[in-house]
Amino acid sequence: MDAPIYYSRAEYIETDTGNKVSRRATIAGPQNIILGGKTIIASGAIIRGDLRRTGPGHAVVISLGRYCLIGEGCVMRPPYKTYRGNFNYYPMKIGDHVHIGNGTIVEAATIGNHVEIGKNCIIGKFTIIKDCAKIADNTVIPPNTVVPALALFAGSPGQLVEDLPESTQEMVEAHTKGFYARFQPAAAER
Amino acid sequence: MPPIRDKFTIHSKAVVCQDVELKGDITIGAGTIVHPKATIFAIAGPIVIGAGCIIEEGVILVNRRVPSRLRLAFPHSSSSRKEVMRIGDDNIFEIGCRVECPSIGNFNTVSARARVHHTVRLSSYCVIGAACLVVPTEDEIVDEYTVIYGPAAERRIWSERGKIQEADLRKKHAEYLKEMLPKFNRLRRGDGT
């Protein structure tokens, strides 16, 4: 296994289900955010759970699956549009084993399982990213794009570069699990 | 440079979140929304923001332009004739963009992580695409309805199709945020109240 990635214990809050959330992340409307477990939210990330769908009752705004990583300085905000003359924000759903690189802006509607998104990307409003897709660093995905399964997208605007091998699912799963295992508190503070 | 004195004039109908970094002389008009983690620095002179603008997370608005003729005439004195950075009505500044324009008209869109340098003045109805760099070396006024897009910052003119729909969307967006943001975020008030 690779060398562990140490973090300071004072900075991260660990929940019962193994989520690790930095105190330096900005999380608005936490009651509208669901974390699946073993998900890491790095410092400087902004997650907007306050931009919820209007209407009565409880509304989930952002749901993240298991073994996700939200990199440093990421912005996750739900997409908005008017539908039949009413303005609304719409929920964002992210599957399991999704890694999002540092400084990326995500306004997607759906992100599938085993998706890797690079650094400094911009994922436009209502983008749908299917399972096992990969987005290279610095990619700009325009609004309403559908990224098919097992595709590598890169460039500005983001375009299909190549198809990924069928082993991607296992590779990404091993990588995300490995990352979570390596992400541990600094030994000096134990 | 004398120290920058903070003076915030925030209209009672504006929504400015607590978690916003403000510095210098800033005026924010009615119905303008400032999301948390935005930064507004009025360093070289005051910043005046009109009505109905939306300023999203991580946006940086800076007034750092010293008028060139003043700078040439008195390179070391801080002139009292500071240039005001004026932003009109109904503009939207999306996540992480950086804008230094000394004047901005109405109804412009600056998309996510675009960067507009202080040599540029935006007129009205302009769109700066996502991650565009607009950094000309000489002063320039961007014409109305100009769209700047793509990694090479290419330009074309908007046909004005969907203008009413776009205006409507923006109005509803601002109204929605005005209602929703105060429920989840602490707000900031001006000095006057």
Token pair recorded at residue A112: 């599938």
Residue A59, chain B, CB below 8 Å: the answer is no
Q: Is A157 exposed, middle or buried, given 0-12, 13-18 or 19+ CB atoms closer than 10 A?
A: middle
Per-domain boundaries in chain A: 5-189
Residue A88, chain B, CB below 8 Å: the answer is yes
ipTM: 0.86
Mean pLDDT of A68-73: 94
| Angle, vertex CA A180, rays to CA A175 and CA A182, nearest 5 | 90
Residue B153, chain A, CB below 8 Å: the answer is no
In total, the C-beta contacts within 8 angstroms joining chain A to chain B are 62
Q: What is the pLDDT of residues B76-87, one digit of tens each?
A: 545 456 789 999
pLDDT tens digit at each of 193 positions of chain B:
567 788 899 999 999 999 899 999 999 999 999 999 999 999 889 999 999 999 999 999 999 876 655 555 555 545 456 789 999 999 999 999 999 999 999 999 999 999 999 999 999 999 999 999 998 888 899 999 999 998 898 999 999 999 999 999 999 999 999 998 888 888 888 775 5
- Return the residue of A nearest to B97 by Cα: A105
CATH code of the domain occupying A5-189? 2.160.10.10
The alpha-carbon gap from A87 to the nearest alpha carbon of chain B, in Å, equals 6
pLDDT above 70: percentage of residues in chain B = 90
How far apart, in whole angstroms, are the C-alpha atoms of residue B24 and residue B43?
6
Residue A51, chain B, CB below 8 Å: the answer is yes
The alpha-carbon gap from B82 to the nearest alpha carbon of chain A, in Å, equals 34
Tell me the β-bridge partners of A35: A64
Inter-residue contact A120 to A104 (CB < 8 Å): yes
Residue with tokens 């119905």: B31
How far apart, in whole angstroms, are the C-alpha atoms of residue A104 and residue A178?
22
Domains of chain B, first to last = 7-184 (2.160.10.10)
The alpha-carbon gap from B107 to the nearest alpha carbon of chain A, in Å, equals 18
* pLDDT band with cut points at 50, 70 and 90 for residue A5: confident
How far apart, in whole angstroms, are the C-alpha atoms of residue A10 and residue A55?
38
Q: What is the pLDDT of residues B156-187, one digit of tens each?
A: 999 999 999 999 999 999 999 999 888 888 88
pLDDT of residue A134: 95
Please name the member of A28, A54, A124 whose beta carbon is closest to the beta carbon of B184.
A28
Give the CA distances from residue A33 to residues A27, A63, A65, A153, B164, in Å, rounded to whole numbers and listed in that order: 9, 6, 11, 28, 34
